[in-house]
Amino acid sequence: MLKLFLWLRYLRKRRIVLLSITAVALSVALMIVVGSLFTGYIKALEDSAVADVGDIFLWLRGRAIPQCELFITELEKLDDVEAAAPFLYGGGLLYLQTGDVREVTIQGITPARETEFTDWKNSLLRQQTSDEKIDFDVPGYPNDTGGWLGIGIVAEPNEKTDEYDLTQAKKLIGNQVILTTVGFTGKRKVVKFKISDIASTKTHFGDKTLYLPLEKFNEITFGKNNTENIRNLKIKLSTGVNAQPAKVLVRKKWEQFATEKLELDQDIIAQMRIVTVHELRGDFFAELHKQMQIVMLIFGVICSVAVLLIFCIFYMIVETKLKDIAIIKSCGATNAAAASIFVGFGACVGIVGSALGILIGFVIIKNINAIEHAIRIVFGLKLWQSSSYGLNIIPHQIHWPSVWPIVLVAIAGCCLGALIPAFVAAKTKPVEILRYE
């Protein structure tokens, strides 16, 4: 109780201690914001990669995957697999209107299966308010099958706000466009179709992609007589499943399916390539994590100034409270007890400052997009460009696993800053301090 009394008394009488708490709070908040933003950014890019190629990506070298739909059904029987979907990749030039030709990435997809990978219901401007299943039907043309155009293909973001005019883009639905691409044989293919919907995927690259029905793009690429040419397959794993063990299970399932159902030669079976998304794009994500560690180290060094500040303030308190310390020791308190008063006080400063830092960091992270928007309005400065970062919005989820190590380090730093003042207090000799009192 005596220690608690002294902690409260020093805090009440020595308002300068509030400066220490503020320094700790700001340091903790800064580390939480930086860590959460960087972690959230990497996680968003990983989720985008999973939507693009899945947690596990399969392709059969030089040939189509036979009976692909049946194989997908077999894969989805695995407990580790949440969903699987076939897709085709390509590229081409899209003619929108006179003088307006855009280079586009093309994806052939199956809407019913793609909904397991991407929230298409909220990404399609026309169909997001519909209760029907998403499709490539063109409104007003019941017999036509169209394509989804990423909003970045048909519109340019505002230079100041980096936002698209969704209302204007939606008016283009139903317009005819012309796609020029190259088929499997190397022959140029020219295809006319209507815009079925506009896709706003919240990612820069997704907004620059043309999405076509898998069967239609398959026909464009391989011809009308070669409709079974699915060469790419992506798998989404269940939550919490490790990709490497799941990859082994997928390979075993393929070998079993190819041997028993397809009766393929072992040479052909061995040509199936199965990779995880981190194996496919591991170098990129590893570099991002490395950059995150460097940034956290730099900010950690900057925030370590708070430890020096605590040392100075606590040393000043000890020097001005020598009489109090001498009285305590003259009543029988040991050196360790005298020292523990200030080490404990340092821990209290760390705990209170860390709690405030968590609160400040939480508020900043949750409102980071509103803060960025306010900065843009007040100063005319756009801090987040989707073309630079690949995402339309700043990730705004706090990363709790990284919060607790930051808090523990902050409390330990406060205790460290109080160690030398505590040592001075422990060495205080009551007889020398009180002899003239």
User: What's the burial of 246, exposed, middle or buried (CB within 10 Å: 0-12/13-18/19+)?
Assistant: buried
Residue 372 in tokens: 């960025």
- DSSP strand pairing (81-97 vs 147-150): unpaired
Question: What mean pLDDT comes out for the span 266-294?
Answer: 86
106 in a structural domain: yes
The parent domain of residue 259 ranges over 62-270
What one-character-per-residue DSSP string does 218-236 give? Answer: HHHHH-TT------EEEEE
* Same-domain pairing of 107 and 246: yes
What is residue 47's predicted lDDT score, i.e. its pLDDT? 83
For the ranges 126-135, 297-306, 318-327, which has the lowest average pLDDT? Answer: 318-327
Highest mean pLDDT among 224-228, 236-240, 309-313: 236-240
Domain boundary among 211, 237, 270: 270
Greater pLDDT, 12 or 405: 405
What one-character-per-residue DSSP string does 249-304 give? Answer: HHHHHHHHHIIIII---HHHHTTEEEEEHHHHHHHHHHHHHHHHHHHHHHHHHHHT
Given pLDDT bands bounded at 50, 70 and 90, which one contains residue 8? low
Question: What mean pLDDT comes out for the span 116-125?
Answer: 87
> Helices 17-53 and 400-417, interaxial angle, to 10°?
150
* Same-domain pairing of 345 and 408: yes
* Same-domain pairing of 266 and 156: yes
Question: What mean pLDDT comes out for the span 56-75?
Answer: 87
* Same-domain pairing of 402 and 376: yes
What gap in Å lies between CA 23 and CA 347, rounded to an integer?
14
427 in a structural domain: yes
What is residue 62's predicted lDDT score, i.e. its pLDDT? 74
* Same-domain pairing of 132 and 253: yes
For the ranges 48-52, 100-104, 106-110, which has the lowest average pLDDT? Answer: 48-52
| pLDDT at residue 136 is higher than 80 | yes
| pLDDT at residue 225 is higher than 80 | no
| pLDDT at residue 238 is higher than 50 | yes
| pLDDT at residue 325 is higher than 90 | no
| pLDDT at residue 433 is higher than 60 | no
* Same-domain pairing of 362 and 385: yes
Question: What mean pLDDT comes out for the span 174-201?
Answer: 89
What is residue 104's predicted lDDT score, i.e. its pLDDT? 92
For the ranges 42-56, 125-139, 298-312, which has the lowest average pLDDT? Answer: 298-312
User: In this prediction, what percent of the chain has a pLDDT beyond 90?
Assistant: 24
For the ranges 86-100, 295-309, 344-358, 362-376, which has the lowest average pLDDT? Answer: 295-309
* Same-domain pairing of 75 and 134: yes
pLDDT mean across residues, the chain: 82
What is the tally of structural domains in the chain? 2
232 in a structural domain: yes
* Same-domain pairing of 247 and 365: no
What is residue 228's predicted lDDT score, i.e. its pLDDT? 66
For the ranges 172-181, 262-271, 294-303, 425-434, which has the lowest average pLDDT? Answer: 425-434
* Same-domain pairing of 214 and 290: no
* Same-domain pairing of 253 and 176: yes
Domain boundary among 240, 270, 300: 270
Biggest alpha carbon distance in the chain?
108
Greater pLDDT, 416 or 217: 217
Given pLDDT bands bounded at 50, 70 and 90, which one contains residue 313? confident
Q: Would you tell me how many other CB atoms lie within 10 Å of the CB of residue 240?
A: 6
Which DSSP helix (H) or strand (E) runs through 210?
Answer: strand 209-213
| pLDDT at residue 164 is higher than 60 | yes
| pLDDT at residue 249 is higher than 90 | yes
Q: What is the pTM of this model?
A: 0.77
276 in a structural domain: no
Sign of CA dihedral 199, 200, 202, 207: positive
Question: What mean pLDDT comes out for the span 202-219?
Answer: 88
* Same-domain pairing of 221 and 353: no
| pLDDT at residue 351 is higher than 80 | yes
Instruction: List, for residues 377-419, the tens digit of each pLDDT value.
Output: 777 777 777 666 767 788 888 889 989 999 998 888 888 777 7
Domain boundary among 241, 270, 299: 270
Greater pLDDT, 162 or 231: 231
For the ranges 203-217, 275-289, 324-338, which has the lowest average pLDDT? Answer: 324-338
User: In this prediction, what percent of the chain has a pLDDT beyond 70?
Assistant: 83
Q: Would you tell me how many other CB atoms lie within 10 Å of the CB of residue 348?
A: 21
Question: What mean pLDDT comes out for the span 358-376?
Answer: 89
* Same-domain pairing of 178 and 294: no
What is residue 436's predicted lDDT score, i.e. its pLDDT? 47
